[in-house]
Amino acid sequence: MTELLIIKPSSLGDIVQALQVATSLKAQCDGLRISWIVRDIFAPIVRACEAVDQTYVFDRTGGTKAFLRMMREVRKTKFDFVFDMQGLLRTGLMTSRALAKRKVGRTDAREWSGIFYDEKAPLPPDGRRSHAVDILLQFCPVLGAKPELRGALKFREIDTLNLSFAEGRGGSKPIVMFPDSRRAEKRWNGFKQLTDLILRSDRSRKVIWAGNNAVADRGAFQPAQFLNLTGNTSLVSLPALIKRADWVISNDSGPMHLAAALGVRTLAIFGPTDPRLFGPYPLTAPTNFVVQAPVGDLKLLTAKEVFTRFQRACARTEKQR
């Protein structure tokens, strides 16, 4: 049995990408047991992932006492490896306190966290201009695994939502949209207009808005075609909801990364961030599509343009089915 501790407390998109790497390690390495340090607000999705055996919850607001309490639990296990996939001072301190034979961090670690590592995973050939997933995959060779994704990302289903609307009639699936994003500059404001265009173009379509922050729809759509779950979407229910989707349309956000990781057809809307580094992975997958706003300004991206791109993506993927 090989004991591995992964330190990746946040954020949702980064955690999803790291879970993909953990899944690949489990698929390639026999007898591997994975433990994980994660922030309390993201703990449900890590606990639900089938690749993770043990979860340690980091209460970021609990101060020094909460940190030391968590680390006492972590230190009850002598790990073979610690992978600090975050690369910040606090995760470097976690690495220093953990008991392990080998402590590995990121070459691009920040805030002097590199002083706590025995070794560093190298950057991919494109260096810092590599996709975030490719950077994390460089941890794989430490365990003798190839730096590539293998195995399917799977979650234990613990549904907290009534997903009957998502089941559809006659096998039809809804389009799930995530209109919110953690950062304002990554938040496109055209989802209401896009929803109207989609529902008007095909009366058999259904749209679900989802996300942890409430976004008002002001009763603009018929209940038979539309369901607003924003503000009422738990992390643990996200995988089940996304897997029931025909498409996911989302800002650059954690749910976008989760949809791509689960192989659901994904249309990602990007503003100032670079999709080559942070887009749905891999960008070459036939189910992943990106719309980038002109000069990176989401205010310049119209709903009509996104709708046109969506129709083209639908036509392309239908030919491949």
Distance CA 256, CA 258 (A): 5
Over residues 147-156, mean pLDDT? 96
Distance CA 242, CA 219 (A): 23
With a cut of 80, say whether residue 46 has pLDDT above it.
Answer: yes
Of the options 1.10.150.240, 3.90.226.10, 3.40.50.2000, 3.30.1300.10, the CATH number for the domain spanning 2-143: 3.40.50.2000
With a cut of 70, say whether residue 194 has pLDDT above it.
Answer: yes
- List the domain boundaries for the chain: 2-143, 166-320
Cβ count near 84 (within 10 Å): 30
Q: Which residues of 48-78 are buried (b: 16+ CB within 10 A; e: fewer)?
A: bbebbeebbbbeeeeeeeebeebbeebeeee
Q: Give per-residue pLDDT as tens, 128-148.
A: 999 999 999 999 999 999 999
Q: What is the pTM of this model?
A: 0.94
Over residues 9-37, mean pLDDT? 98
pLDDT value of position 168: 55
Over residues 204-225, mean pLDDT? 92
Task: Give the burial class of 112: count Cβ atoms within 10 A of its Cβ; 0-12 exposed, 13-18 middle, 19 or more buried.
Answer: exposed
31 pLDDT band (50/70/90 cuts)? very high
First to last CA, the chain: 41
With a cut of 70, say whether residue 161 has pLDDT above it.
Answer: no
Q: Domain 166-320, what architecture? A: 3-Layer(aba) Sandwich (3.40)
pLDDT value of position 74: 98
157 pLDDT band (50/70/90 cuts)? confident
181 pLDDT band (50/70/90 cuts)? confident
Q: Give per-residue pLDDT as tens, 86-136.
A: 999 999 999 999 999 999 999 999 999 999 999 999 999 999 999 999 999
Over residues 66-80, mean pLDDT? 97
Same fold, 2-143 and 166-320: yes
H or E, element range at 129: none
pLDDT value of position 156: 86
pLDDT value of position 182: 82
pLDDT value of position 171: 53
Backbone angles phi, psi at 264, to 5 degrees: -85, 145
